Amino acid sequence: MSRPPGTGGSGASSEPDISFEATVRGERLRFEEEPRTAVGFPGAGERESSSRSERTNLPYTVAPGQEYRDILVHYRLATRLIRAAEGDPGDEGDDEASDHR
């Protein structure tokens, strides 16, 4: 599991700029193929990001063709801008602009 978002780094705030949470429940679930997953945060600027999932009755590596019952997955991803890219309009020192998220 990743460390919680907003821990460490040199930014002024430890709260994420963007976070997303989802909970999925299922009575039965079967994968025909092993899933390929990726999480990315494209764009400019240095950021601190994390994602994690907590699963019940569903292993982190699933077996194709295996049926899983009564599953629960709670997923969270978060990212926070540590340093804006050079030339980014939000990097001009304007306090009002930097307060908007």
pLDDT of residue 64: 95
| 101 or 86, greater pLDDT | 86
Q: CA nearest 75: which of 55, 90, 57, 53? A: 53
Prediction pTM value: 0.63
Residue 69 has pLDDT above 70, yes or no: yes
Neighbouring C-alpha atoms within 13 Å toward the C-beta of 39: 12
12-66 tens-digit pLDDT: 568 899 999 999 999 999 999 999 888 877 777 888 888 999 999 999 999 999 9
| 30 or 97, greater pLDDT | 30
Q: What is the residue extent of each domain of the chain?
A: 16-30+45-83
